Structure 1
Amino acid sequence: MGDADSDVGSTDRAARGGGHRAWIGSFTSGGGRGVTTAAVDPSTGSLTPLSVTDAVADPSYLAHDRRTGVLYAVSETDRGAVGAFRSTADGLTPLGTAVGVGGAGPTHLSVAGRRLLTAHYTSGSVSSLPLAEDGSIAGPPEVLAHHGSGPDAGRQKGPHAHQVVPDPTGRWVLSVDLGTDSVRVCASHPATGALRVHAETVLRAGTGPRHLAFHPSGEVVYVLHELDPQLTVCRWNAGSGALEPVSEVPVAPTGGPGAPEACPSAIVASPDGRFVWAAVRGADTIATFSLAGGAEKPQLTGAVPCGGNWPRDLAVDPSGRRLYAANERSGDVTWFDVDQLTGQPRRAGSLAVPAATCVVFG
């Protein structure tokens, strides 16, 4: 249940259907219960758990397709799989059995039209799976292997695809690879959906890019690095499929005796294009960047505690008024009200979710 910061009357209203839905992934191998369905109170942002399913092991990342209403969950295991679910009044109903993704340790997935994209950290590859009209998975994956390495012997001996997303036009697919310090821009075959590399943007060696987010304009991309707490600002040309690095901006202080570990994990942009937020594990903070000077010039304006420990994921609700941090090690999802003038988050409540990994909205 929510903590003392949550309004009981508000969560009761949400449970009766007064708000929209959120889904929370968690590591079942770490004590999590799988995928939690929660009601979201529209007036307070508070979460009320409604049901859980462990039909997929270690569902570390989720994606919701608004076109079909289907929820997808990766199984971050050595065999690597993805499950599809229909959301009903009683919870999540599986659409068939989980399907192999052709890669090990999938950490991310996204929907691109009638294709489902998955990124596989352990095997360093990405996959494209066909979707049927009802949203069910309609066939085996087409797999694209990444190649390369980086200077960090412990983390970059080979490729580690960490995220794969379509660009706003739907023409291109971008895959972020922590092991090769690069972002690949891919095109898909119109008939088979198979991905091929169109271009590869190489970023600073040893930084370990993990996730990216598009500015709502569709012309700027923010790449967040895990191994070095930096944000790379890039120009995006959807016409040519070119990603061009412009500058780097620190996400958290580095170095110094007693300085906490800083391992950035997730980045989101506000729907109105005025702010960018990044979650930083170790420091356990949420960093706020103002875009008042332009989309290519994010300015770090502050950082607040994430409300727990080891924020693996960060999500902004559809209204842009609230942020949600999935704190893996403390086992909670904490939500924040966003100051609409400054973009600074203010803690508003939390929900206990053991081994929480991500939050998505429907």
Structure 2
Amino acid sequence: DAVADPSYLALAPGGGVLYAVSETDHGAAAAFRSTPEGLTPLGPAVPVGGSGPTHLAVAGRRLLTANYTSGSVSSLPLAADGGLRGPASVLVHEGSGPDASRQERPHAHQVLPDPGGRWVLSVDLGTDSVRVCSPDPATGALRLHAETALRAGTGPRHLAFHPDADVVYVLHELDPQLTVCRWNADSGQLEPIGEVPVASAAAPGAVRAYPSAVVVSPDGRFVWAAVRGTDTIATLSLADGPGKPRLVCGVDCGGSWPRDLAADPSGRRLYAANERSGDVTWFDVDRLTGQPRRAGSVAVPAATCVVFA
């Protein structure tokens, strides 16, 4: 195994190189040349300068990682062939939240560039906030630009941009809600404008919902969210506008503990990585309603991520 506990994957723009993080105490990232014959390592894994990385993304000539355990985000330079170089520059988050068991300190869970490539956004479950950072043009090091506070105790985990509007959807892990935000790419400011549930309110003693991943359809008409615990995929309609998502339905994910969710480039299929049942389930999407209909599955031990090469 070239990477221990490879919990998240990212493909370089244009394909050809696949990146993986190692969600371990000694967090690392690795790069692979991707061909029809398989994967070839582009050198050894490189330390990311933080522990427990759970997410990564490519931003220009840098690889970004969100380091959950250490509550930090890292930026690593990329070589001409797409391989990784060090050392990493690291921005450490500060703060905490009201949930003593989950928010005792920062826990960066996701990091990604905005569509224009000028800003980097990091989602922190431990501090109930999204940070907007500005990459240094010369070094790629991240500098804090702004921080948006979200409702206390909700534990934001992942966000997704609407493809055609200045709207961002932030999914929370500790409270099954989706926060809708207005995004200003000129000023680098994120403003919450509303919330909508992604799961029904749990009755006393019922299974608790732990949302994990959020996806916007390529045509901008629907939002989907994976919800662990209830093991469902929520469908939200954007028929009333990008800023007004409406929960339409929730369907069974076809397995247990859907940690990741991905739409194929056409938006006609959804894929759920079910970690505890060890499979990836795919769904055909109804083009009118956005509702997923289960179409098949394949065994993938401890599945945690789906990308399209």
TM-score (norm 2): 0.99
Q: 2:290 aligns with which of 337, 343, 353?
A: 343
Distance 1:66 1:156 in 2: 34
User: Percent identity, aligned pairs only?
Assistant: 79
The residue number in structure 1 matching 2:66 is 119
Quote how far apart the aligned CAs of 1:90 are: 2.5
The residue number in structure 1 matching 2:258 is 311
Give SS of 1:97's match: coil
Distance 1:88 1:279 in 2: 30
Structure 1 stretches of 5 or more lacking a match?
Answer: 1-53
Q: Deviations over 1:209-264 (max 9, x none)?
A: 00000000240000000000000000000000010000010111223134221000
Distance 1:314 1:104 in 2: 24
Distance 2:91 2:282 in 1: 36
Distance 2:76 2:273 in 1: 27
The residue number in structure 1 matching 2:137 is 190
The residue number in structure 2 matching 1:91 is 38
Q: Deviations over 1:77-123 (max 9, x none)?
A: 00000000001232100000000000000000000111100000000
User: Which deviates further from its counterpart, 131-140 or 267-276?
Assistant: 131-140
Aligned counterparts, 1:276-295, within 5 A: 276-295=223-242
Greater RCO (CA < 8 Å, at least 6 residues apart): 1
Aligned counterparts, 1:129-144, within 5 A: 129-144=76-91
The residue number in structure 2 matching 1:12 is none
> Contact conserved, 1:284 with 1:309, CA < 8 A, in 2?
yes
TM-score (norm 1): 0.84
The yes-or-no answer on 1:249 pairing with 2:196 is yes
Give SS of 1:357's match: coil
Aligned counterparts, 1:191-340, within 5 A: 191-340=138-287
Amino acid of the residue matched to residue 129 of structure 1?
L
Distance 2:118 2:150 in 1: 23
Runs of 4+ in 1 over 2 A off after TM superposition: none
The residue number in structure 2 matching 1:13 is none
Structure 2 stretches of 5 or more lacking a match?
Answer: none
Quote how far apart the aligned CAs of 1:140 are: 1.2
Quote how far apart the aligned CAs of 1:355 are: 0.6
**Number of aligned pairs?**
309
The residue number in structure 2 matching 1:64 is 11
Distance 2:273 2:9 in 1: 12
